Amino acid sequence: MAKPLPVLRRHSATALAAYHDLVSLLLDEAVSQIRGIPTPRVRGSRTYWYDRYRVGVEMKERYLGEESEELLRRIEQHETLKADREERRRERARLVRLLRSERFLGIDSATGSLLAAFERAGVFRLGGVLVGTTGFRIYEGELGLNLTLDQAAMTNDIDIASFEKLSLALGERVLPSIGDVLHDFKFEPVPALEAGRIWRWRQTRSQTLVEFLAPSFDSEEGLRDLAALGVSAQTLHYLNFLIAEPIHAAAVYRDGILVQLPRPERFAIHKLIVADRRRDGPESLKARKDRLQAELMIGVLSQDRPTDLLEAYEDAIARGPRWRERLERSLGKSPDAAAQIANLS
């Protein structure tokens, strides 16, 4: 007998509203730090905004984000937002307390303190997207999911992905460096096969891994450089699908941390693809975890965002026979999820 999809438990409407208010306040805070003149830069078909300011006789630029109606509105209000920073900080702390009272799991202090350090350095502002199980747990707020302990079970590993071309185009670099941030948390670089190209770090006391990833557009997966983050990255097939058009999200820790996550519908479909890549050998246990996460997200998305889920699925199967084969094999092991996707069209 096929195992049924996980039971969906929902957070209250109050918790959901508080979470989205927290994200909005964090986005306000990011723009309130403008020091000079907001300036657009056009690259190809996209427009990116920078804070252009003077330090002595030198002009500096700080990346604000890709142009959107939401960003333009905040840029117009940045002087007002700057004046309200302390009030906004207290309100964020109140919202986090409310979310915890509503039984949000949030994230543990070790992960939270590291993500906060990455945010201060500019990792997420400069294109970093939090992927993997750590990112999955933060969907608790975006989707209003009240996760059980089993559903939220996770390693402390942190995976951050970005596009190589975007990282190069931004013309800015994290400060302090990734290496310095991780050194402060007692992480050591893990030697790579290519000398001098570090893409993963291990914390000696906990064995936690931090890894940097990028999409592979070649037949082989290898190492590439992420200029804005100042690190090398392991390239992976299918990752371009996952991190296209990421969303802003809030990690529930202290007074909130602004991060970037993959779109939830892309995360769900990508997990099915990754599960098939891991179907053999010791990786098969990770494949089961991938399918469980995909099943949970498909369950909620098929109810709340069916059009988004269908579009992501159709996008994936249109990318070629290998994509379709991987999805078919994973859905064959998750018949209830397969039925929910079939019912979308």
Question: Tens digit of pLDDT for each residue in 311-325?
Answer: 999 999 999 999 999
* Contacts of residue 49, Cβ cutoff 8 Å, sequence gap at least 6: 38, 39, 40, 41, 63, 64, 65, 66, 67, 71, 75
pLDDT at residue 155, rounded to an integer: 62
- For the segment 285-304, the average pLDDT, to the nearest whole number, is 89
**Percentage of residues in the chain with pLDDT exceeding 90?**
70
The residue with greater pLDDT, 132 or 183, is 183
Per-residue DSSP letters for 5-50?
Answer: PPPP-B--HHHHHHHHHHHHHHHHHHHHT--SEEEEEEETTEEEEE
Task: Check whether 282 has a pLDDT greater than 70.
Answer: no
Residue 213, token pair as written in the block: 């990833």
Q: What is the arithmetic mean of pLDDT over 149-175?
A: 82
* Residues pairing with 234 in the sheet: 213, 223
Predicted pLDDT of residue 343:
93
- Higher pLDDT: 268 or 3? It is 268
Q: Is the pLDDT of residue 255 over 80?
A: yes
What distance in Å separates the CA atoms of residue 170 and residue 65, rounded to the nearest whole number?
Answer: 9
In single-letter form, the type of residue at position 34 comes to I
pLDDT at 76 over 80: yes
DSSP 339: H
Predicted confidence at residue 281, as pLDDT, reads 60
Q: Which residue has the tokens 């800015």?
A: 172
Mean pLDDT throughout 145-172?
81
Instruction: Report cis status (omega within 30 of 0) of the bond before 246.
Output: no
β pairing state of 209-215 and 158-161: parallel
User: Is the pLDDT confidence value at 96 over 80?
Assistant: yes
Mean pLDDT of 209-213: 95
Arithmetic mean of pLDDT, 211-222: 92
- How big is the chain by its Cα radius of gyration, in Å? 20
Confidence of residue 154 (pLDDT cuts 50, 70, 90): low
Winning range, highest mean pLDDT, from 53-57, 148-152, 278-282: 53-57
**The predicted structure's pLDDT at residue 3:** 55
What confidence category does residue 245 fall into, taking pLDDT thresholds of 50, 70 and 90?
A: very high
Mean pLDDT of 64-92: 92
Residue type, 15: A
What whole-number distance in Å separates Cα of residue 298 and Cα of residue 263? 13
pLDDT at 197: 86
Has residue 190 got a pLDDT over 70? yes
Separation CA 110–CA 219 (nearest Å): 37
CB within 8 Å of 108: residues ≥ 6 apart: 156
DSSP class of residue 281 equals G
pLDDT, position 127:
95
Strand partners, 236: 215
What values do phi and psi take at 227, rounded to 5?
-60, -45
Q: At what angle do helices 132-142 and 284-304 cross, to 10 degrees?
A: 20
Q: Side chain identity at 126, as an amino acid letter?
A: L
CA atoms of 282 and 290, how far apart (whole Å): 14
pLDDT of residue 35: 92
pLDDT tens per residue, range 98-135: 999 998 988 889 999 999 999 999 999 999 999 988 89
Q: Which pLDDT band holds residue 149 (cuts at 50, 70, 90)? A: low
Output the pLDDT for position 283: 61
Q: What are the CA-CA distances from residue 298 to residues 57, 166, 342 (Å)?
A: 54, 30, 11
Q: Counting every residue, how long is the chain? A: 345
pTM, to two decimals:
0.92
Q: Between 157 and 23, where is the model more confident?
A: 23
Token pair 């000696």 is found at 204
Q: Which of 154-163, 221-230, 295-304 shows the lowest mean pLDDT across its residues? A: 154-163
Torsion (CA) 64, 69, 70, 72 in degrees, nearest 10: 50
Q: What angle do CA 340, 343, 345 make, to 5 degrees?
A: 130
Which DSSP string do the residues of 214-260 spell out, in sequence order? EE--SSS--EEEETTTTEEEEEETTHHHHHSS-EEEEE-STT-EEEE
- Model confidence at 1, pLDDT cuts 50, 70, 90, reads very low
